[in-house]
Amino acid sequence: MQLGGVPLKGPADSKVIVTEFFDYECIACSMMAPMMDKVMTANAGVRFAFRGWTIFAARYPESALASRRGLSIYRKQGADAYIAFHNGIYRTGHNEGKLTAEDIEKVAATAGAGASSGDDNAASDGMIENNEALAEMLGLTGTQGIIGMLAENATVQNTMVIPGVVSGEVEQQAIARAEKG
C-alpha cells in the first residue's frame, strides 16, 4: 500500500498499519470515530493511515471540502493537527448533509490551521482519487472500511479487511492478526 502523502499517525518503524477509509459525511464513520481514537491510544506502537474516500461528495459537497482541508492541514502542520481536525469534524455531530463549510473552518481553526487558500486542492483531489481506486480494488463497497496488515510482507493470511461498523475488539483482532505475521 503506497503511503506517500497519506495522513499517518504512529511510529514510522511500526510492524503493523491500520488503514481507515472514511467520509466525513458518513454517519457510521462518525459513530466509529471515538472507538478508533481509543484503539489508536491503546496501540501506540501501531501506525494508523487515514484515507478520505468522499463517496458522499456528489450529494454533499462538504465531504470533499472537509477531506481537502484535512489533507492540507496534514501537509502543512503534520499528524497531530490532522488528528485534531479529523476527530473534531466528527465531534461536531454533523453528518449526512449537516456538515457545513463553517463547521469545517471552525474545526480547522481549533486544530491550529490558518485560513484555507485552496492552493493545494489538486494534490488533495489526486489523493482522494487514489483512495477511491484503492478502496474499490480492496472490494470495499462503502465507508467505513478498516484494513489491518503488516507494514511489510503483507499477505492474505495476515491482513484483515473490515467493512462497516465494528467493535473495538474486532479492530484489536485485526491488529493481533497482523502482528502474528
Give the pLDDT confidence score for residue 1 in this predicted structure: 46
Confidence of residue 50 (pLDDT cuts 50, 70, 90): very high
Q: Is residue 2 part of a domain?
A: no
Q: Is residue 1 part of a domain?
A: no
Q: Is residue 64 part of a domain?
A: yes
Amino acid identity at 79: A
The tens digit of pLDDT for each residue in 155-179 reads 888 788 877 777 778 778 778 777 7
Percent of the chain whose predicted confidence (pLDDT) is above 70: 97
Name the average pLDDT for the chain.
90
User: What average pLDDT does the segment 87-104 reach?
Assistant: 96
Q: Is residue 97 part of a domain?
A: yes
Predicted TM-score (pTM) of this structure: 0.90
Give the pLDDT confidence score for residue 126 in this predicted structure: 92
Q: What is the CATH number of the domain that holds 127?
A: 3.40.30.10
Domain of residue 47: give its range. 8-180
Query: HSE of 137 in the Cβ direction (CA atoms, 13 Å)?
Result: 7
Residue 124 pLDDT > 60 = yes
Q: Report the DSSP beta bridge partners of residue 20.
A: 50, 146
| CA pair distance 78, 165, nearest whole angstrom | 27
| CA pair distance 161, 123, nearest whole angstrom | 27
Q: How many domains does the chain have?
A: 1
Q: Helices 79-91 and 27-42 sit at what angle, rounded to 10 degrees?
A: 140
